[in-house]
A and B are shown apart, each in its own frame.
Chain A
Amino acid sequence: MNRLGFLAREALINLRRNLLVVMGAVLAVFISLALAFGALVVNQLLRINTLAWQDGVHIIAFLHDEGLAGIPAGAHQALVAEVTSWDEVANVTYVDKAAAWAEYQQIFADRPDYLNIDPSVLPASARIELTNIDLYRDVQFRLASESQLIRRVETFGEQIEQLSSLSTVLNLLGLGLALVLGMSAVILIANTIRMAIYARRDEVAIMKLVGASNWFVRIPFVLEGMIEGLIGAGLAVATVWVAFRNLRTLGDSIEIVSFAVPDRFFLTWSIRILLFGAAAGVLGSVLGLSRYLKDEDGSRPISAGARVLEPL
């Protein structure tokens, strides 16, 4: 207990002493993790929104009326039943001619001139939701074989594909940037650790002289790096959280786009980001210590200046 308290105290003293450099390192961790987290959330939003796009309907098959040449009564229901059984299809909603007319009236409620049509020209349709959007071409192709029954097939697959490739590009960009910044964050942390070692060289020398074990000397520095990483990650999580919280309220008023990222997604990724920050901090400190980690006891002879940085 006392030992832990001592080590934590030492780490905090270090942090205070190099406030400016530490802030730089924390900022780098913050920016890189906020970018990474932001990219993940945006990606998730795109996924949610493309899936939900057009109320989750990915393909609409407009059908020839029953009772026309070669189309017996019940053919529509048979088709719906068959398409529903396909593996690629998650759900099929049948909209009959009456419902289509109702929908049409609703859409053009404010354009009375449009309502002057014969309701019977509106076709019935099967509205198909896919299990996986990427499969839209397959489903389109299979529907084509029912051509005597189907008047026209409309799909949102291409638009969805474009959106998802956009999200892929955005993601790669975001994650790439986050990676580069993350690396510089690790290097900056390593730098703060070197400075801390230098600032505390007398203490370190005395610790070693009175027989402190090597890990005991190192742990405050590792803790210091970990705290830096954690603070940066905490800031990143908080910022992304606040940002998307505000977007969500904004989204509620826009209505077309949903900004409602599931809380579970947020929570798991927040924890992962925090762990990631801590790991980056530890990596940075180990890097910073590495030159002094060698267990060789410095028989290197050297100038008085270099002697100061005897291996830890």
Chain B
Amino acid sequence: MIRLREVTKVYEGGVVAVRDVELDIQKGAFVFLVGPSGSGKSTLIRLLLRQDTVTRGTIWVAGKDITQLPAWKVPFLRRSVGTVFQDFKLLPNKTVGENVAFALEVLGKPRSVIGPQVQQVLELVGLKDKGDRYPRQLSGGEQQRVSIARAFVNRPPILLCDEPTGNLDPATSVGIMRLLDRINRSGTTVAMATHDHAIVDAMQRRVVQLEDGRIIRDQQSGRYETEHVVEVDGSVAQ
């Protein structure tokens, strides 16, 4: 579903955010991208969305080389990739229902399709009675559910999450992870950047660990930390 080869991203100013990354994510997989802040997780997600372009290397999404994608086709890539962020990115002047509907409106879907589809996805995320509320009237966990609903309402085959639980307390985070797990079990490929140890350890899914833009570990059913010792300076001894 997702394949990266020799992917390197150097920002203007010379920061190498991602170096020679090789990664394969199968259809229907659930992958954690872990690593300390600044290790390149967000950059990787931005590259997958073509919010940024690679400096070197190739990225395939659903069989297409997105590094060669002409700009006018980028919207089509994004329609097949749902996104969830730490800060929810909800529009404060729209209701929950309108926020979710917005994702379909901008694709030009007819109103007759939008209404039922929004209702259905709000039910899925457990907010079916809160469609008329405004984001400020919801808890952080509920707001994140809205943003997941918006990302998923179009049923994209891939869901990319950048620290979706970063602003949430542990109990709320568990609820969000259950939701993402359910979405994954329905066949959606999910990649999630996080540095939340508890979540990664609890989920027992594939873990890809980044450090200074490099993949230093790729483990099926892994934990956040390796069984190896973490040295005092934070680097991981092999």
Binding site for B on A (CB under 8 A): 2-3, 6, 202-203, 205-214, 216-217, 295-302, 310
Contacts and interface: CB of A to CB of B under 8 A. Distances in A.
Interface string B104-146: 0111111100000000000000000000000000000000000
Contact of A211 (B71, B72, B76, B91): B76
Interface of B: 11-13, 15, 49-53, 70-72, 74-80, 83, 89, 91, 102-103, 105-111, 150-151, 154
B78 A208 contact: yes
A119 B98 CA distance: 94
Contacts of B80: 211
A296 B69 CA distance: 11
B83 A209 contact: yes
Contacts of B75: 208, 211-214
Contacts of B102: 206-207, 210
B106 A212 contact: yes
B108 A210 contact: no
Contacts of B106: 6, 207, 210-212, 216-217
A207 B108 CA distance: 12
Contacts of B110: 2
A6 B52 CA distance: 29
Contact of B103 (A210, A214, A302): A210
A186 B146 CA distance: 41
Contacts of A217: 106
A302 B51 CA distance: 13
A216 B108 contact: yes
Given A210-B102, A210-B103, A205 B79 contact: no
B79 A211 contact: yes
B107 A210 contact: yes
Contacts of B74: 297
Contact of A296 (B71, B103, B111): B71
A297 B11 contact: no
Closest 6 CB pairs of A and B: A295-B71, A211-B79, A212-B106, A211-B78, A210-B103, A301-B11
14 contacts: A6-B106, A202-B89, A206-B89, A206-B91, A208-B75, A210-B78, A210-B107, A211-B75, A212-B107, A214-B72, A295-B70, A297-B50, A297-B51, A297-B71
Contacts of B83: 209
Contacts of B91: 202-203, 206
